[in-house]
Structure 1
Amino acid sequence: MFRDQHHLRRKIARVDGLEGDELAKLCTQIEKSFRDSCALVERRQDRGVRIHYPDNLPVSQQVDEIRAILRKHQVVVIAGETGSGKTTQIPKVCLELGLSDKGLIGHTQPRRLAARTVANRIADELNVELGNQVGYQVRFSDQSQPETLVKVMTDGILLAEIKNDPYLSKYQAIIIDEAHERSLNIDFLLGYLRNLLHKRKDLKVVITSATIDVERFSKHFGGAPVISVEGRTFPVEVKYQPASDGDDASLPEQVQQAIEGIIQDERDKKWRIGDVLVFLPGEREIREVAKHLRHSEWRDTEVTPLYARLSNEEQSRIFKGHSGRRIVLATNVAETSITVPGIRYVVDSGLARMSRYSVRSKIQRLPIEPISQASANQRKGRCGRVAEGICYRLYSEEDFVGRPQFTDPEILRTNLASVVLKMLDVGLGDVRKFPFIDMPESKLWNDGFKLLFELGAVSQNNKITSLGREIAKLPIDPKLSRILYQANESDCLHDALIVVSGLAIQDPRERPAEKRQAADQAHAVFKDVDSDFATLLKLFNVYEEQRQTLGSSALKRFAQKSFLSFMRMREWREM
């Protein structure tokens, strides 16, 4: 239930060898822990909140059913279309059931942006200040306290807590949201919770997912009940608009043509002006399309980007009221993690960046690939919430039919070295017997063990070494972590920290297609002819000198002039 319980449990197991002062000290510690725990329970119960459910959300109509089934079962799977309200309302059901009286309600999200926005939304609906009864924790930021009732966090944060608290004893309920995304962290948590539930009979687990293959989640947890939340949607028309044969129209031009088609549809159907959500594969494509659209002569039109590395202030713009038409240019962060309000039209490029690992080349790539049918349908479901909608797909219907039904889980397309190391560090036994929903092939496991052996993180018999435990402490790729420990021994840790942090993020150097020569000239200032690593070091040091002398606005201008991403440079420094 609280942080120190597991630590005390281990001490009590060794109490037979204690006597005299040591035994008295242990008894005093246990007594103090008990008093502190009782006091914390009392404070938590005093922080009750008034709960109501918005009438316009489909999940609100099934609150009684969800409450009854969750009271009866340890694990519940809730399936519903994006926008049904399950993300914001299920924590409130847990609050009503008293699942925050003796511990936290943990609520995981796949992305930092989603964790912050979900926590804000829940706090607003409960009419409480963010950081008190409702808090959140993401990398570099913890807005929670011991008395917090609902803690929204990235799934990586919850995974990190397992090392020091394998029983997750401070949680009374855990909600794994957006489970259908099947990220590496989500799959690991689902397997770990399945094993933990036998030891924590008091722990409630809620798995929420879009209506994608939910029976697999139910089967994974021994036939857990599935509650389907029907979405209240308007009809959505799908229009396929592929580039014609021989047509070399760029992605920005295709998006512009789709929006012009939307404007014409509104005239023909005599509809009111509606907002548009455009799905694009990455930040570069968002910037290119935004620049192109801002030159269009559309009246009362606002173009707004949405991706994970934007500042909180820029991200929150999409939730604020506006007049005229808003065009939101987003990555797949808006596919399931965040509901953008007021969307009537969707323009789907049909593309996304997907992480892929090659066992043969030992390289983890991030290519742009066609999305699956399930992802395409998720994107289509983002419109039709406020009125009849239209989804423009920038590819053909034949292309859609030929795509795979589901996206491959991340665990089947990534290097497993970090997974193996994390599991060995936590002490989960034979990693090949861990209850993953989809078990990777032997060649992927063998490749992960081989890399860890080369790094000195495991022995020849696949046991974790002392160096491996040190490497596992850092939340980065094991190869990068190993560099830091070697740098410490070689007395060059300061410079290595800068280089490794730069390698751990996306390259901050920008090279727009229409300004490649100017970008190359700007980047030449930082270039070291002998080493790409020395180039990164010089880039960071020059930027850091400017950061310490310039104000925020002047620093942004320097970054723009130098063709550097201001947000990525900030992430580099935080890392």
Structure 2
Amino acid sequence: MKIYDRVEEYVETPDDVGEYKMPEAYDMVENVNQEKRFFVAMQRYKDPEAKDKMNPFAEQEAWEEHQIGKSKLQFGSKDKKPSSDEYQYVFEDTIDFVKSSVIEGTQPEDDSNKEDIKAKDILKRELQDERKTLPIFKFRDELLKAVEEYQVIVIVGETGSGKTTQIPQYLHEAGYTAKGKVACTQPRRVAVMSVAARVSQEMGVKLGHEVGYSIRFEDCTSDKTIIKYMTDGMLLREFLGEPDLASYSVVMVDEAHERTLSTDILFEKFSDYFDSAPIFKIPGRRYPVEIHYTKAPEADYIDAAIVTVLQIHVTQPPGDILVFLTELQAKIFEPTPEGACKVVLATNIAETSLTIDGIKYVIDPGFSNQRAGRSGRTGPGKCFRLYTSYNYMHDLEDNTVPEIQRTNLANVVLTMKSLGIHDLVNLDFMDPPPSLHQKLY
């Protein structure tokens, strides 16, 4: 009886107990539980959430879930509460869109668009007010009158007077762009691009439309362009295709004092009109600039510049610093973060044409007399010269040596020949190249 009870208990025992059991003899047809026989095989393809419904893809789905879990490996405790994203997407450039219904006039613009328009109007008014504070503004009417009377005008303006950005706009406002484009040349590419961007902002137009620029390998102009900034070399190229420059009503050769090769060649093209040209003198500096000299000559100006930067940062009131040493990049125009001091290292490209907001201190190793004007444009400033007062008065050149006197003459000869200037020997150069006769013959 006890044996029978044990057998009955064994038969009723669930299959999932943690002990080994002798398998049934499935080869015996009689008294074989077929459901129990295929239980293991059926369990393999059974979805636990589908109750009695079979899922032939359960194994594949379980494998895929396992692989996906490995690809999304996460650290930390499993019961950690999900948190929101710590970072937001930041776009450097955005595109403004407008609904078609707004364009068609069937739906008014929303409040956000109105706020944008209001902000742009405020910025435009501020820019117009700032234009009136420039030293050249008081000479506007007198300058336009002289342009109407004379074919060539010589303008002598200090740095920061506003001549580069304002004169082309004055000419446009006076109606000269109705007769042709207004051209303004610059010796350097960065100056061309930055000035064009500034003028387009002041006029409230898109860069490349009414205001554009042209530099080597890049032409940011269109059929709408009426004010065009370009390098002096690009204007020479336009002479080749249009010798009379008939598409222009006024040509402005800016930064002529730098005496680049292209500028000097342009002077030769216009030299017949110089004798009767009036001269305008425009003050430039709106704020005082203190000049400081070293008490003794510096042996290593790079080391002296670094020391001076640190010395200014520690001992002087807050303000950005401009050092004339190495290459200039467009990043210099970005505003300085609060509580920081921006130090700009630049070649003589920053000497003229460009105004860098926030510059209060200038460090000049001693290659030009104009660099003090880089400070004092937007507020009082100081210029620290890494040479003595005696060196400044006796050793430094007053002006830059013209490029035509220090460059290979092969390019000079070919350029002037292409422009129709053939008698180079008897040409009345502003500053003739050295040994021109010997090199030509």
Q: Give the TM bin, normalised by the shorter chain.
A: 0.5 to 0.7
Structure 2 Cα separation of the partners of residues 279 and 257 of structure 1: 14
1:278 aligns to what? 323
Offset, 1:386 = 3.1
- 8 Å contact from structure 1 (residues 234, 387) kept in 2: yes
**Residues matched between the structures, number:** 314
Structure 1: segments with no counterpart, 5+ residues: 1-48, 198-220, 284-305, 351-370, 451-575
Aligned-pair CA distance for 1:260: 3.2
Cα distance between partner residues in 2 of 1:163 and 1:140: 17
Quick one: which amino acid aligns to residue 255 of structure 1? A
Note if 1:233 corresponds to 2:249. Answer: no
C-alpha spacing 1:337/1:231, structure 2 compared with 1 (3 Å) = closer
- The answer on 1:379 being equivalent to 2:371 is yes
Check conservation: 2:154, 2:278, Cα contact below 8 A: yes
How far did residue 416 of structure 1 move?
1.4
Q: Which range moved further: 105-114 or 408-417? A: 408-417
CA offset digits 1:186-214 (Å, max 9, x no partner): 0100110234x6xxxxxxxxxxxxxxxxx
Higher Rg of the two aligned structures: 2
Matched, 1:404 2:397: yes
The answer as to 2:164 corresponding to 1:171 is no
Q: AA paired with 2:207? A: L
Shift in Å, 1:173: 0.7
The question of 1:123 aligning with 2:229 is answered no
SS at match of 1:191: helix
- 1:445 to 1:118, Cα distance in 2 relative to 1, 3 A: farther
Residue 539 (structure 1) aligns with: none
Q: 1:260 to 1:135 in 2, by over 3 A?
A: same
Give distance in 1, aligned partners of 2:426 and 2:353.
31
Q: Which deviations, in whole Å up to 9, do the C-alpha atoms of 1:28-84 show, x marking residues without a partner? A: xxxxxxxxxxxxxxxxxxxxx999571221111221111121122111111111111
What pairs up with 1:19-34 in 2 under 5 angstroms? none
* Paired residue secondary structure (1:341): coil
* Matching of residues 228-267 of structure 1 within 5 Å: 228-241=281-294, 250-266=300-316
- Quick one: distance in 1 between partners of 2:424 and 2:165? 34
**Residue 437, structure 1, aligned to residue 430, structure 2:** yes
- 1:414 & 1:340 partners in 2: Cα distance? 31
Is the 8 Å Cα contact of residues 255 and 347 (structure 1) preserved in structure 2?
A: yes
The residue number in structure 2 matching 1:194 is 271
Residue 340 of structure 1: which of 352, 356, 378 is its match?
356
CA contact (8 A) 1:234 1:389 kept: yes
Secondary structure in 1 aligned to 2:243? coil
The superposition leaves residues 493-544 of structure 1 with CA deviations (integer Å, 9 ceiling, x where unpaired) of xxxxxxxxxxxxxxxxxxxxxxxxxxxxxxxxxxxxxxxxxxxxxxxxxxxx
User: After the TM superposition, which residues 504-519 of structure 1 pair with which residues of structure 2 at under 5 Å, given as runs?
Assistant: none
Mapping for residues 526-541 of structure 1, pairs under 5 Å: none
Please state whether the residue corresponding to 1:64 is helix, strand or coil: helix
Partner AA of 2:426 in structure 1:
K
> For residue 144 of structure 1, what is the aligned residue in structure 2?
221
Structure with a larger share of its residues in helix: 1
Residue identity matched to 1:415: N
The ranges of structure 1 where at least 4 consecutive aligned residues each deviate by more than 4 angstroms after the TM superposition are: 49-53, 242-245
Give the Å deviation of 1:146: 2.7
CA drift at 1:265: 4.1
Sort the Cα spacing of 1:445 and 1:170 in 2 relative to 1 into closer, same or farther, 3 A.
farther
Q: Which of 319, 335, 342 is residue 320 of structure 1 equivalent to?
A: 335
One-letter amino acid matched to 2:386: L
Contact 1:123–1:129 at 8 Å: present in 2 too?
yes
Contact 1:383 1:391 in 2 (8 A): yes
Q: Is the alpha carbon distance of 1:445 and 1:114 closer, same or farther for their aligned partners in structure 2, counting shifts above 3 Å? A: farther
Distance 2:228 2:169 in 1: 12
- Identity over the aligned pairs, expressed in percent? 42
Normalised by the size of structure 1, how large is the TM-score? 0.52
Check whether the contact 1:71–1:97 (CA below 8 A) recurs between aligned residues: no
Give the match for residue 391 of structure 1.
383
Partner secondary structure for residue 363 of structure 2:
strand
User: Deviation digits for residues 84-128 of structure 1, max 9, x if unmatched?
Assistant: 111000001110222111321111010011110111011000000
Distance change in 2, residues 1:253/1:426 (3 Å): closer
Gaps of 5+ in 2: 1-123
Question: How far apart, CA to CA, are the structure 1 residues paired with 2:437 and 2:245?
Answer: 27
* Correspondence for 1:106 among 168, 183, 187: 183
CA distance in structure 2 between the aligned counterparts of 1:222 and 1:52, rounded to whole angstroms: 36
Q: Cα distance 1:55–1:427, how it changes in 2: closer, same or farther (>3 A)?
A: closer
